[in-house]
Structure 1
Amino acid sequence: MKHMIHEVILLEKQYWQLVDIPPQELTESSNTYVLKIINLLDEKGGQPPPIKSGGIASLLGATMINVADRTKDQNLHEQIRTKSTDELRKECDRLYIELYKLIRKYLGLRRVVQDLTESFQDTRFYPIVPRYPLLKTMIKRVLRAPAFAEICHEVNE
Structure 2
Amino acid sequence: MPKIACPYENIIQIAASTNLVGKFTQSVRRIVQDVKDEGTASGQTKEEVIETNERLRAVRIRLDASYETAKRALVDLMMKYTDSKQVRNIFQRYNLLKVMIKDVIKLETQYWTLVDIPRQEKQETVPVFVLRACAIMEKTHKSGEGVKTSARLAEEAESKRERIDRLENLTTVQIETENTQMTNDLYRLLKKYTGLRNLIRDLKAHDDLIRNCFNVSI
Q: TM-score, normalised by structure 2?
A: 0.49
State percent identity of aligned pairs.
Answer: 27
Asked whether 1:118 is paired with 2:217, we answer no
CA RMSD of aligned residues (A): 2.1
Q: How many residue pairs were aligned?
A: 119
Question: After superposition, where does 1:43-122 map in structure 2 within 5 Å?
Answer: 43-46=139-142, 49-51=145-147, 62-122=149-209
SS in 1 for 2:113: coil
Q: What is the CA distance between 1:81 and its match in structure 2?
A: 1.9
Asked whether 1:11 is paired with 2:107, we answer yes
Asked whether 1:127 is paired with 2:208, we answer no
Larger radius of gyration: 2
Asked whether 1:40 is paired with 2:136, we answer yes
User: Which contiguous aligned blocks of 4+ residues in structure 1 show a shift greater than 3 angstroms?
Assistant: 46-51
List alignment gaps of at least 5 residues for structure 1: 52-60, 129-157
Equivalent-residue separation in structure 2 for 1:32 and 1:65 (angstroms): 32
Equivalent-residue separation in structure 1 for 2:108 and 2:143 (angstroms): 23
| Residues 49-78 of structure 1: CA deviation (Å, up to 9, x unaligned) | 454xxxxxxxxx732022102211111012
Equivalent-residue separation in structure 2 for 1:48 and 1:121 (angstroms): 30
- 2:117 is matched by which residue type in structure 1? I
- Within the candidate set 26, 29, 41, 2:125 is matched to 29
- 1:105 is matched by which residue type in structure 2? K
| Residues 83-123 of structure 1: CA deviation (Å, up to 9, x unaligned) | 22222111000111111111111111111111222233212
